[in-house]
Amino acid sequence: MKTDIAIIGGGPAGLAAAAAAHDAGVKDILIIERDNELGGILNQCVHNGFGLHTFKEELTGPEYAGRYVDMVKERNIPYVLKTMAMDISSDRVITLMSREKGIYTVEAGAIVLAMGCRERSRGALNIPGYRPAGIYSAGTAQRYVNMEGRMPGKEVVILGSGDIGLIMARRMTLEGAHVQVVAELMPFSGGLKRNIVQCLDDFGIPLKLSHTVVDIQGKDRVEGVTIAQVDEKMKPIPGTEEHYDCDTLLLSCGLIPENELSKSAGIKLDPVTKGPVVDESLETQVEGIFACGNVLHVHDLVDFVSQEASVAGEKAAEFVQGRLGTPVKEVGISCKGGVRYTVPASIDLGRMADKQVVRFRVGQVFKNARIVTYADGEQLSSVKKRIMAPGEMEQVILKKDVLQQHGDLQNITVAIETE
Ligand SMILES: Cc1cc2nc3c(=O)[nH]c(=O)nc-3n(C[C@H](O)[C@H](O)[C@H](O)COP(=O)(O)OP(=O)(O)OC[C@H]3O[C@@H](n4cnc5c(N)ncnc54)[C@H](O)[C@@H]3O)c2cc1C
């Protein structure tokens, strides 16, 4: 089987990429989704707050996803469900598996990776104690409560203050559980400020920063957990232990982009984002394979996922149409002063759009600092921000005409500077 563009993952990123590729003139597209339905993780996010940027209204996750599913259906873009992409080769042959069709391959003119991310599991976190029932990742608990009508427990402690944990603190409370505390290892929350206010503060749920779980009690079912304060090296401080009687521990300790397929295609991954290294066209270092959404880097707002995915879809279309253009000069983007990474990691001055969005996250909380960009050491822009935190994505816009004035440009830098 052959297709012009194969899109792996039918979440918001895959759907937006498909619609954009179609609008750019490529009609032979295949969306590959392993789940029973399109929509991705948004299907289990029944809270509102989605789409403020894109649709200027507050939608629930399924409503937001539904708008993009409609776009795909209006355009008659083909998709397969309950079909898992098992392998991608560097020459863009995808091995798929489904119950109905068994194992088969698709040769794609271009591929858009949109596989999203998964939650970091307890095993990866090394919490001591037994392995009793009652320990869930926050996303698993969310699926149980919102999609399967099951309640994971009644007395809850949450470790990690990523957005999923914060959302689940509120959700479990609304469903009648008692959320006793959210413990966060870092001295700052990993989630959006608005989620801390709306999901914890509004419900009187304490957030204990610089705390972690040091023991889990219970053999068959969780009976309690002990948390303790940690020092600057993240080591528990003896004497600060606090015990909580509870039957449930939810873990919200980070998301990992799902890049097993990317690795099989020989795609270079960024050690910070754990997603593919991409250029201005969101093309990975394997020609004709593009990436977007949470598989590229973990996003806070789905609106940015959709925007980014539209670019990936358009660029994949340009690639199969032979319009993407050959790279003229690739210029790397360096990170300085607390900028952890940038997406893209480099831009080509020939292929870049008139305005290039560069997204990044900071590694610590900054107050009244500036986001400053440089071209070969010469300042291009400086924007003051009252607050920047690791939980919130930041962005700068680079202008092509300005960069082109820098003759033999070697390097662009994005830096955080404090006053
Ligand atoms: C609990 C929670 C709360 C959130 N709250 C908000 C919020 O309030 N506001 C907001 O704007 N954003 C929110 N987000 C973020 C938003 O949901 C994500 O940014 C967005 O869903 C990412 O889209 P995606 O398409 O990249 O990934 P996903 O939605 O994860 O979709 C990836 C898809 O790829 C499929 N897939 C993966 N691997 C394969 C494979 N090998 N073969 C076939 N299919 C595959 C998966 O089944 C999935 O359907 C929240 C996220 C979570 C988890």
Over residues 383-416, the pLDDT tens digits come to 999 999 998 899 999 999 999 888 789 999 999 9
Distance 16 CA to ligand 1 centre (A): 12
Residues 145 and 233 in one domain: yes
Q: Is the CB of 308 under 6 A from ligand 1?
A: no
The residue whose C-alpha atom lies closest to atom 30 belonging to ligand 1 is: 116
* Residue numbers of the domain that contains 351: 327-419
Q: What spacing in Å lies between the alpha carbon of 417 and ligand 1's midpoint?
A: 33
Partners of 31 in the beta sheet? 7, 79
Do 132 and 239 have their domain in common? yes
Tell me how far the alpha carbon of residue 14 lies from the centroid of ligand 1, in angstroms.
10
Locate all alpha helices (DSSP H) within 102-255, ordered by sequence. Answer: 138-147, 163-174, 193-195
Beta bridge mates, 339: 362
For residues 331 and 303, membership in a common domain is answered with no
Q: Cβ(14) to ligand 1 under 6 A? A: yes
Q: What is the pLDDT of residue 33?
A: 98
- Token pair, residue 120, equals 């970091």
- State residue 122's pLDDT score: 66
38 neighbors 72 (Cβ within 8 angstroms): yes
pLDDT value of residue 358: 97
Are residue 138 and residue 245 in the same domain, yes or no?
yes
What integer pLDDT is reported at residue 190 of this predicted model? 84
Q: Which atom of ligand 1 is nearest to the CA of 35?
A: 47
309, containing H or E segment: helix 302-320
Task: Looking at the structure, tell me whether residues 320 and 332 fall in a common domain.
Answer: no
User: 60 CA to middle of ligand 1, Å?
Assistant: 14
Q: State the pTM of this model.
A: 0.94
Count of domains observed in the chain = 3
**Rounded alpha-carbon distances, angstroms, from residue 317 to 92, 239, 293, 327, 340:** 15, 60, 17, 16, 31
Let me know: does 3 contact 29? Beta carbons within 8 Å: yes
What pLDDT is recorded for position 419?
A: 72
Residue 101: both structure tokens together: 């069709």
Out of 302, 306, 311, 393, give the residue to mutate to test ligand 1, the one with the largest number of ligand atoms within 8 Å of its CB: 302
233 shares a domain with 350: no
Determine whether the shortest distance from the Cβ of 293 to ligand 1 is under 6 A: yes
Picking from 325, 354, 380, the residue at the C-terminal end of a domain is 325
66 CA from centroid of ligand 1 (Å): 13
Determine the distance separating the centroid of ligand 1 and the alpha carbon of 149, expressed in angstroms: 21
Atom of ligand 1 nearest to the CA of 260: 41
| Among 211, 229, 253, residue at a domain's last position | 253
Distance between CA atoms of residues 156 and 199, nearest Å:
14
- DSSP assignment of 318-386 equals HHHTT-S-----EEEEEEETTEEEEESSEEETTTS-SEEEEEEEESS-EEEEEEEEEETTEEEEEEEEE
Question: What CATH number did the domain enclosing 18 receive?
Answer: 3.50.50.60
- Does residue 41 have its Cβ closer than 6 Å to ligand 1? yes
Answer yes or no: do 91 and 133 share one domain: no
- 218 in the same domain as 69: no
Token pair in block for residue 24: 């750019």
Decide whether any atom of ligand 1 lies within 6 Å of the 115 Cβ.
Answer: yes
pLDDT at residue number 108: 98
pLDDT in tens, 164-217: 999 999 999 999 999 999 999 999 988 888 899 999 999 999 999 999 999 999
Q: What is the pLDDT of residue 328?
A: 84
- Shared domain for 281 and 371, answered yes or no, is no
User: Which atom of ligand 1 is closest in space to residue 32's alpha carbon?
Assistant: 43
Residue 11 has what pLDDT? 98
CA distances to 66, 137, 313, 349, 356 from 305, rounded to whole Å, are 15, 23, 12, 24, 15
Q: How many residues are recorded in the chain? A: 419
Count other C-beta atoms under 10 Å from residue 397's C-beta: 11
Does one domain contain both 35 and 79?
A: yes
Q: What does DSSP assign to residue 119?
A: E
**Last residue of one domain, picked from the residues 325, 346, 377:** 325
Q: How far is the CA of 65 from the centre of ligand 1 (A)?
A: 10
Q: How far is the CA of 293 from the centre of ligand 1 (A)?
A: 8
What distance in Å separates the CA atoms of residue 339 and residue 418, rounded to the nearest whole number? Answer: 13
Nearest CA to 34 out of 258, 292, 189, 273 is that of 258
Phi first, then psi: what are they for 307, rounded to 5°? -60, -50
Instruction: Tell me: do 183 and 262 sit in the same domain.
Output: no
Locate the ligand 1 atom nearest the alpha carbon of residue 117 and give its number: 30
| Cβ of 275 below 6 Å from ligand 1 | no
CA distance 53 to 263: 33
Ligand 1 pocket test: pick from 8, 115, 198, 297 the residue with the most ligand atoms within 8 Å of its Cβ: 115
What is the rounded distance in angstroms from the CA atom of residue 188 to the CA atom of residue 390?
8
Ranges of residues in the chain with a pLDDT under 70 are 122-124
User: Is the shortest distance between the CB of 114 and ligand 1 below 6 Å?
Assistant: yes
pLDDT at 123: 61
151 in the same domain as 95: no
Atom of ligand 1 at shortest range from CA of 302: 11
Q: Measured from the CA of 84, which atom of ligand 1 is nearest? A: 42
With the most atoms of ligand 1 within 8 angstroms of its CB, the residue from 15, 42, 273 to mutate is 42
